[in-house]
Structure 1
Amino acid sequence: MTAAMEHSDVTPSFFYDFGIVREKVAMLRGALPAGVGIHYAMKANPLPAMVSAMVALVDGIDVASGGELAVALKAGAVHISFAGPGKRDAELESAIRAGSTINLESETEATRALSIAERLGMTPRLAVRVNPDFALKGSGMKMGGGAAPFGVDAERVPALVKRLIATGADWRGFHIFAGSQALDSGAIADTQAATVALAGKLAQEVGATPPLVNLGGGFGIPYFAGEQPIDVAMIGERLGGVLENRDSILKDSKFAIELGRWLVGECGIYLTRVVDRKESRGEIFLVTDGGLHHQLAASGNFGTVVRRNYPIAVANRFGFDVEETVSVVGCLCTPLDRLGDQVGLPRADVGDVIAVFMAGAYGASASPASFLGHSPAREVLTKV
């Protein structure tokens, strides 16, 4: 926060403290069973400086587009996996040329990847993303348990894997993702156990050991009052027991978890300056030079059913008593542009700086930056 305030004369801005990310990774490594890899899902924060720093810290980078693949390659990433529906032929070709693992989302995507690899005279690295018959309970976004655009239905996976192996492709294993943004540690542990069991069942049906089983992620972070962080130590302990007793066909498999939000979400703050203070029918509005075009999630318009306020403060008045209830709104011509709804804050006037916390994930890159032609927010990575 100190570094951010030193540069708060330039708003709107995101500041990311990589020291916090480093601490999160160290905590996770200390909790996970030995040998379980950590992959960074860079869609959470694809800032090139962030990705470059992550390459040296984690065991793999997971991308979801050709654009992200290019950023990861430029950052020096070697172990890259590419997931996501609707991969275009050019994206498949780029991934094959780079030697990245493609997590196949359908049988037709497999056909296209194999055809492209044959044309290039290369052996593609192909894994299969599995749509499991279970979901992560309590997750903000469920990624399994029913019909989905993501992955191949579990019952169809063995036939596809056998086909990949028969064609001579380098089969890299399974990617099984059941949900995201869960704060129920027990549910996360239960889902990991079910995922390992499913991987064993599928491997038995294929008759081959998957080189890697990507267990997905789903670790949530507490954005709102009353929410508690997950118990990483308990999750790691439970996973250790599961892996000790895994199916024999998975004995030589490697395992990894794929995280984005949990690694970077808490490292960021978004700073925006008050440009107008106005009263309307008894309510106070602080109008800022930022808004949902930079920080869509904080406005409640990114995967939130019931809008709740992200942690928010008057950055240059920490320690001051709450003096009034106000709404913090952005500069866009839409009532959706609201960063804080009826929040208690110290008095803030024109020129004061508002800080929105938990802004390290799904901020700038997940927001409609071009809406109404306003300038993008600055992004700064510190303590690398």
Structure 2
Amino acid sequence: DSFSELERLNRYAENQNEYINIGVRVNPNFSMNREFATSSQFGMDEEQIFETDLCFLHLKITGIHVHLRSQILDADMLGRYYHNCYRLAERMNKLSGVEIQFINFGGGIGTVYDATKEPPLALEKISYALKRLRARNGCGLRAKFILETGRFVVCHAGTYYTRIVDRKISCGKTYLIVQNAMNGFLRPAIAELLKENTGTFPLKGQEPLYTSGSQCEFFILGRKGNDETVDIVGNLCTALDVIAKDLMLPRGEIGDILAVSNAGSYGCSLSPLLFSSQMRSKEFLWKEN
């Protein structure tokens, strides 16, 4: 991820009398929108790579990794990005000390959170773009292709469940208190926090903490009708422990189970599990026969 890491790895390999094949993360001179490179905490600038001696006695660079953005639903944009990554690998393969054997194109493949507003990713276009690159690769680098699928595979597969442990009315507002709110599923709480500070749900995502104001649906299991407007809050000692405000739901009672959709990615692992010494959420894998 940095030139200093390369030097440390080379010293380690020398001390162990080993020879190591490695991949490097590149901050390329392009972006998803065809713009020039921007400053980044990740990777090594493409321009610096081409100005640096990459010949190490105990290291050989055999692959590259590029990742610029997440949650992309524009297939044409992803196709151009894959093409640019491959061209970068071709250029780097001409450098001394580099022999490209794999290309990690990173992630970026988006998933639909709100079907009423977001078009699904056109997978046939992605397939066509990759087939073209495979043909070029077959008579060129012959490198292994790696795609990071990220939330695309698991987001819709997970649901967050938490029990309603109390309900109360304060100054005319109804609150449903659940066992674990932001300390079980942080993303809805981040959405409410952003809205509280900006007056509306921001259009621009802040991945992986926030995608949109409609990134989750809420249900009370087994309840229909008798709708009411509620705030759903948790037990933490902070007023920020809110995962939904002014939400219309069937009347929920103590003991009912609240379900929140799209929790298969960035759920429990992203949440402040140890805050306020509350009971930790658990994760379960259910396999349908």
User: TM-score, length-normalised on structure 1?
Assistant: 0.64
Letter in 1 for 2:216: Y
The verdict on how the C-alpha distance between 1:211 and 1:347 changes in structure 2, with shifts beyond 3 A counting, is same
Is 1:148 matched with 2:40? Answer: yes
Q: Is 1:232 aligned with 2:94?
A: no
State the match for 2:202 in structure 1: none
Structure 2 residue ranges without an equivalent (≥5) = 192-207
CA contact (8 A) 1:309 1:340 kept: no
Residues 1:379 and 1:173: Cα distance change in structure 2 (over 3 Å): same
Aligned to 1:281: 171
Deviations 1:270-290 (A, max 9, x none): 100111112222322111001
| Superposed counterparts of 1:245-324, under 5 Å | 245=136, 249-250=140-141, 252-300=142-190, 303-304=209-210, 307-308=213-214, 310-317=216-223, 320-321=224-225, 323-324=227-228
Counterparts of 1:322 and 1:111 in 2: how far apart (Å)? 66
Partner amino acid, structure 2, of 1:276: D
- Does structure 1 residue 108 correspond to structure 2 residue 4? yes
1:290 is paired with a residue whose SS is: coil
- C-alpha change, 1:309 and 1:195, in structure 2 (3 Å) is closer
Larger RCO (alpha carbons 8 Å, 6+ apart): 1
The one-letter code matched in structure 2 to 1:325 is T
CA distance in 2, matches of 1:363, 1:239: 31
- Map Cα deviations across residues 249-302 of structure 1 (whole Å, 9 max, x no partner): 42x211111122112222111100111112222322111001111211121266
Is 1:346 aligned with 2:245? no
Partner of 2:30: 134
* C-alpha displacement of 1:306: 6.5
How many Å separate the matches in 2 of 1:183 and 1:338?
29
Q: 1:281 to 1:324 in 2, by over 3 A?
A: same
- Which of 54, 57, 61 is equivalent to 1:162? 54
* Structure 1 residues 280 and 237: CA distance shift in structure 2, 3 A: same
Q: How many residues align?
A: 270
Displacement of 1:184 in angstroms is: 2.0
Q: Which amino acid aligns with 2:185?
A: Q
Q: Which of residues 257, 271, 275 in structure 2 aligns to 1:367? A: 271
Change (3 A) 1:160 1:236: farther
| SS of alignment partner, residue 5 of structure 2 | helix
Name whichever structure is richer in helix by fraction: 1
| 2:285 equivalent to 1:381 | yes
- 2:17 aligned residue (105, 121, 133): 121
Question: Which residue is equivalent to 2:204?
Answer: none
For 1:257 and 1:322, the matched residues in 2 are separated by 47
What's the secondary structure of 1:204's corresponding residue? coil
SS of equivalent to 1:273 = strand
Alignment of 1:90-109 (within 5 A): 105-109=1-5
Question: Paired residue for 2:78?
Answer: 188
Q: Which runs of 5+ in 1 are unaligned?
A: 1-104, 138-143
Once structures 1 and 2 are overlaid, which stretch shifts more, 292-301 or 202-211?
202-211
What CA distance in whole angstroms lies between the structure 1 residues aligned with 2:39 and 2:138? Answer: 27
Which protein is bigger by CA-based radius of gyration? 2
Quote the offset at 1:246 in angstroms: 5.1
Query: Structure 1 residues 364, 326: closer, same or farther in 2, change over 3 A?
Result: same
TM-score, with length taken from structure 2? 0.84
- Percent identical among aligned pairs is 30
